[in-house]
Structure 1
Amino acid sequence: MFDNGLKYGLVTRVLHWAMAALLIYQLGGVVAGAALGETPLTEAWGSSHKPVGFTLFVLAVIRALWGLVNLTRRPKLHEGLIGKLAVLGHLALYALVLAVPAIALIRQYGSGRPFEPFGIPLMAGGHEKIEWMTKLGGDWHGELGWVLLVAIVGHLIMALVHHFVWKDGTLKRMVG
């Protein structure tokens, strides 16, 4: 269940791959919408954007807390500059997967509209629009989402470098 010095534990791996699948779905829908415009497919895909984003936010919070619990149990990183860059890259990914949906939730609250992901009432709505909240979401949610996509591509590239170039077992530790 817990991480150890040799591999990531089951909970870490399930959280990682569940978030990966949801992020592929979420960002795939955004990319499809940007490429294809409004079509029945992109509208259907887009209709799940808010509840899936909320789910990602909850998983990101759980994953961040789980990561802190396992901080001393994690497999060792590379030494030197490569290890420091890996830490910075992972911190950036954590920050983005928390910030992007958090900003969307702030925008949602500021809109005055209700928010009921999966039928669960989280925000009642009905109040007046709060301009700074909607502006924050309008200015930053999408842009940081694209930054997150670039960071994920970088993460994927580095996983492949670890596996095929350095052959250090990093990917195997996350696959299990």
Structure 2
Amino acid sequence: MQWRNHSNSYGIISIGLHWLLAIALLAMFFVGTWMVDLSYYSEWYHRAPELHKAAGVVILLLMVVRLIWRWSNPRPAPLGKVKWQNRSAELLHQLFYLLVILIAVSGYLISTAEGKGIDVFGLFTLPALNWQFELQADRAGIVHKYLAWAFMLLVGLHLGAALKHHFINRDNTLKRMLKPLKGDIHADS
């Protein structure tokens, strides 16, 4: 089993972090859109936001791990031959990382607007800042919402590009993010 990335393939750590974060971030988006419409009398009215906050902290920590892993491993060369598409793919990934961090920061500002920290599944509490700004929860909430929607638009673009590579280009771009590939992987294999 290949743990680390190679010049032509992703390792199991990169693949695992990719899919774990992908599932977690999609779940967070759908839970977030669901919970804002909960009635005060719903049994989830208080519980869902607490879980959402705690999961957000864990996701941010996983994103930091993913970035460290990405910076400490070789990245497989792109299989596409069109330079602007390869550059666009790199830019898209950088935007993903930036958006996840900004979504987490805006979520933190919403959650700590009343000066209380975030309880992370009873393991630890992420403290609030010693200062808050006027209408912090409202302003950060608007930013959080639009960043989350922007993230989802990029997810759609990313998914479309992966499917294009798989069905039109018929290269291994998608396959190598599903499992480590053995041997010399070429764009036409």
TM-score range, shorter chain: 0.7 to 0.9
Question: How big is the shift at 1:125?
Answer: 5.1
Hey, what does 1:85 align to over in structure 2? 88
Cα deviations by residue, 1:145-172 (Å, 9 ceiling, x for unpaired): 1111111121111111111111111111
Match of 1:17 among 1, 16, 19: 19
Q: Distance in 1 between matches of 2:50 and 2:125?
A: 17
Q: Which amino acid aligns with 1:103?
A: S
The structure number with the bigger radius of gyration is 2
Hey, what does 2:105 align to over in structure 1? 102
TM-score, normalised relative to structure 2: 0.79
Match of 1:118 among 98, 101, 121: 121
Q: Which amino acid aligns with 1:18?
A: L
Question: How big is the shift at 1:57?
Answer: 0.6
Hey, what does 1:54 align to over in structure 2? 57
How many equivalent pairs are there? 172
The higher-RCO structure (CA 8 Å, 6+ apart) is 2
Greater helix share, structure number: 1
Question: How big is the shift at 1:54?
Answer: 1.0
Structure 1 unaligned spans of 5+: none
Question: How big is the shift at 1:98?
Answer: 1.5
Q: Distance in 1 between matches of 2:167 and 2:100?
A: 27
The question of whether the paired residues in 2 share the 8 Å contact of 1:104 and 1:137 is answered with yes
Query: For the structure 1 residues 126 and 87, does the alpha-carbon distance in structure 2 shift closer, same or farther, using more than 3 Å as the test?
Result: closer
Hey, what does 1:151 align to over in structure 2? 154
Structure 2 unaligned spans of 5+: 180-189
Cα deviations by residue, 1:87-126 (Å, 9 ceiling, x for unpaired): 1111111111121112222443443012111113334459
Query: For the structure 1 residues 46 and 102, does the alpha-carbon distance in structure 2 shift closer, same or farther, using more than 3 Å as the test?
Result: same
Match of 1:29 among 28, 31, 35: 31
Q: Distance in 2 between matches of 1:76 and 1:11?
A: 17
Give the fraction of aligned pairs with identical amino acids, expressed as a percent. 26
1:68 aligns with 2:71: yes
RMSD: 2.5
Q: Which amino acid aligns with 1:17?
A: W
Question: How big is the shift at 1:17?
Answer: 0.7
Match of 1:141 among 144, 152, 168: 144
The question of whether the paired residues in 2 share the 8 Å contact of 1:7 and 1:173 is answered with yes
Match of 1:8 among 7, 10, 14: 10
The question of whether the paired residues in 2 share the 8 Å contact of 1:60 and 1:94 is answered with yes
Q: Distance in 2 between matches of 1:42 and 1:28?
A: 14
Q: Distance in 1 between matches of 2:127 and 2:30?
A: 30
Cα deviations by residue, 1:29-81 (Å, 9 ceiling, x for unpaired): 133346xx3254864544421111111111111111111111xx211113411
